[in-house]
């Protein structure tokens, strides 16, 4: 009995020594190692320094892009512009979530998840049950389902040739953003000039709660298909208006008619969509957020590792040695088709730059997250430069300008240069503007060769 007590005491002592880490600073043990494969459809863009801005004659003498040496950190970027079919996945997700909410009133136990089966915790509001299939054409015996889904469709007096179509004006996506810059500014303002005094106790009551910096956004996600007409009133673009977004022939064409707010909503949905899979199915760590690129990131990626090149392919000309055009733009007066496409063309139709990115010049211009200011090169930092302004609906129109890059199918060669910057208003949608996403690389640098993602459309 005495030996047993001594043996037990010894085990307890050794166990306590192990838990204490022998008094040494060893960090938290048993942390799961982080490994993230390359995101599907994205390519790795290494960190680096380059001269951002014009490297040749400033032809319009706009003085908008004076040379400035900057550094950007490593990130991933979509190999191509977001296509109609990829954006349609977002639209369908919003559509199906609305349907599940409507059917949840009828059958909450089927279409909603109201509590945690393991802990009994009640969810308010409940989660949507994505495992429950939707029946868009219920039989006569399921007339209650038919009635519940009726608000999803156009009213009978709005239907064209009695076609039963979805009312896309109701496809609203609600999401939240955390404004860290706003939090940083207001925290320092509350305690006077000395940042050391900006403690929680010194802040006004409204700033003590984190929800003060969380903003809700509600966006209709369906593209403006009429952009083909209102952008060019005296041109026959009716077929594109009627077919471009939904017809399978255009699945792998870049999505257009998406404004800046819709592009941001897509990025946030893409993040949540991926994280819900990783957390719910595999128990893995969440991924870094998808977002629109900054203006500095976009130009660095478009250059493809070349310093001072005017175009993504590295040369000073818009044709290769065989006389073929290297991008989809307006190469000649009135001749849009000389490069192989009168309007948009299928993504990845032209050669990629040395980072493996397609269509960084031409096809469609691309939204960036950066707000447009004519003098922003003069006051932004030289490390990851960016200028943001979250314009409200009530703000003057000049504060709603967002930088677009890359030029499009309707632009002359000057606008497809990597250094040319222009803008569009955040609440407008155009038939020549699309977007692509980026994702931060978590770490300093990757040392293997940049991979070529599998999403390539020939």
C-alpha–C-alpha distance, residues 166 and 331, integer Å:
40
Considering the entire predicted model, what is its pTM? 0.87
pLDDT number for residue 452: 43
pLDDT number for residue 458: 35
Handedness of CA 150, 151, 153, 159 (dihedral sign): positive
Return phi, psi of residue 379, to 5°.
-120, -5
pLDDT number for residue 202: 53
Instruction: Give Rg (Cα) of the chain.
Output: 27
Residue 440 has pLDDT above 90, yes or no: yes
**Range scoring the smallest mean pLDDT among 14-28, 248-262, 367-381:** 14-28
**Range scoring the smallest mean pLDDT among 137-141, 376-380, 409-413:** 137-141
**End-to-end CA gap in the chain:** 79
pLDDT number for residue 28: 85
C-alpha–C-alpha distance, residues 57 and 85, integer Å:
39
pLDDT number for residue 199: 52
Residue 71 has pLDDT above 90, yes or no: yes
pLDDT number for residue 457: 39
In the three-class reduction of DSSP (H, G, I as helix; E, B as strand; rest coil), residue 45 is classed as: strand
Residue 437 has pLDDT above 90, yes or no: yes
What letter does residue 117 receive in the DSSP assignment?
Answer: T
Q: Higher-confidence residue: 346 or 444?
A: 346
| 432: its two tokens | 């020549």
C-alpha–C-alpha distance, residues 263 and 166, integer Å:
22
Residue 281 has pLDDT above 70, yes or no: no
pLDDT number for residue 282: 60
Which residue shows structure tokens 């004076």?
66
Q: Higher-confidence residue: 445 or 96?
A: 96
Domain boundaries, the chain: 34-83+287-458, 91-171
What letter does residue 212 receive in the DSSP assignment?
Answer: G
Burial-class residue 54 by CB neighbours within 10 Å (0-12, 13-18, 19+): buried
Return phi, psi of residue 282, to 5°.
-120, -10
Question: CA neighbours within 13 Å on the CB side: how many for 12?
Answer: 6
C-alpha–C-alpha distance, residues 328 and 325, integer Å:
8
pLDDT number for residue 380: 92
Q: How confident is the model at residue 205 (pLDDT cuts 50, 70, 90)?
A: low
| 412: its two tokens | 């002359």
When the pLDDT of each residue in the chain is averaged and rounded to a whole number, the result is 85
Q: Higher-confidence residue: 83 or 1?
A: 83
pLDDT number for residue 192: 45
Q: List strand residue ranges (DSSP E) for 204-360, in order.
A: 214-220, 290-291
User: Within a 10 A sphere around the Cβ of 319, how many other Cβ atoms?
Assistant: 13
C-alpha–C-alpha distance, residues 436 and 42, integer Å:
10
pLDDT number for residue 54: 81
CB 242 within 8 A of CB 229: no
Q: How confident is the model at residue 283 (pLDDT cuts 50, 70, 90)?
A: low
Residue 168 has pLDDT above 80, yes or no: yes
CB 331 within 8 A of CB 318: yes
Burial-class residue 81 by CB neighbours within 10 Å (0-12, 13-18, 19+): buried
pLDDT number for residue 456: 42
Phi/psi-derived region of residue 63, left when phi > 0, alpha when psi is between -120 and 50, beta in every other case? left
In the three-class reduction of DSSP (H, G, I as helix; E, B as strand; rest coil), residue 405 is classed as: strand
| 25: its two tokens | 């600073």
CB 240 within 8 A of CB 258: no
- CATH fold for the domain made of 34-83+287-458: 3.90.1580
């Amino acid at each position: 009995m005495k030996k047993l007590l001594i043996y037990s005491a010894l085990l307890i002592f050794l166990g306590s020594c192990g838990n204490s880490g022998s008094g040494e600073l060893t960090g938290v043990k048993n942390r799961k190692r982080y490994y993230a494969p390359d995101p599907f459809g994205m390519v790795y863009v290494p960190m680096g320094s380059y001269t951002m801005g014009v490297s040749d004659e400033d032809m319009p003498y706009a003085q908008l892009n004076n040379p400035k040496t900057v550094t950007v950190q490593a990130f991933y970027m979509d190999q191509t512009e977001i296509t109609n079919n990829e954006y349609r996945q977002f639209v369908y997700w919003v559509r199906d979530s609305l349907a599940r909410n409507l059917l949840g009133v009828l059958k909450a136990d089927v279409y909603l998840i109201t509590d945690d089966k393991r802990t009994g915790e009640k969810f308010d509001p409940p989660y949507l049950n994505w495992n429950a299939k939707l029946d868009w054409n219920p039989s006569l015996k399921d007339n209650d389902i038919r009635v519940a889904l009726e608000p999803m469709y156009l009213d009978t007096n709005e239907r064209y040739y009695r076609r039963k179509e979805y009312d896309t004006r109701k496809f609203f996506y609600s999401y939240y953003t955390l404004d860290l810059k706003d939090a940083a500014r207001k925290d320092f303002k509350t305690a006077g000039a000395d940042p050391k005094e900006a403690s929680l106790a010194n802040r006004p009551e409204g700033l003590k709660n984190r929800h003060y910096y969380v903003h809700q956004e509600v966006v209709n996600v369906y593209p403006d298909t009429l952009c083909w007409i209102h952008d060019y009133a005296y041109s026959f673009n009716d077929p594109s208006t009627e077919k471009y977004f939904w017809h399978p022939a255009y699945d792998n064409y870049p999505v257009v008619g998406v404004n800046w707010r819709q592009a941001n909503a897509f990025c946030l949905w893409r993040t949540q969509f991926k994280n819900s899979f990783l957390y719910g199915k595999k128990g893995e760590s969440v991924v870094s957020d998808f977002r629109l690129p900054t203006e500095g990131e976009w130009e660095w990626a478009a250059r493809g590792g070349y310093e001072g090149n005017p175009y993504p392919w590295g040369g000073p000309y818009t044709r290769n040695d065989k006389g073929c055009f290297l991008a989809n733009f307006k190469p000649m007066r009135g001749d849009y088709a000389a490069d192989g496409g009168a309007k948009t063309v299928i993504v990845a139709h032209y050669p990629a730059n040395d980072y493996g990115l397609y269509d960084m010049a031409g096809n469609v211009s691309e939204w960036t997250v950066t707000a447009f200011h004519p003098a922003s090169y003069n006051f932004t930092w030289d490390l990851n430069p960016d200028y943001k302004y979250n314009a409200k609906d009530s703000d003057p129109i000049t504060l709603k300008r967002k930088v677009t890059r890359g030029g499009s199918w309707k632009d002359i060669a000057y606008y497809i240069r990597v250094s040319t910057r222009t803008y569009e208003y955040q609440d407008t949608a155009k038939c020549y503007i699309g977007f692509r996403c980026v994702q931060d690389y978590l770490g300093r640098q990757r040392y293997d060769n940049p991979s070529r993602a599998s999403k390539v459309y020939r």
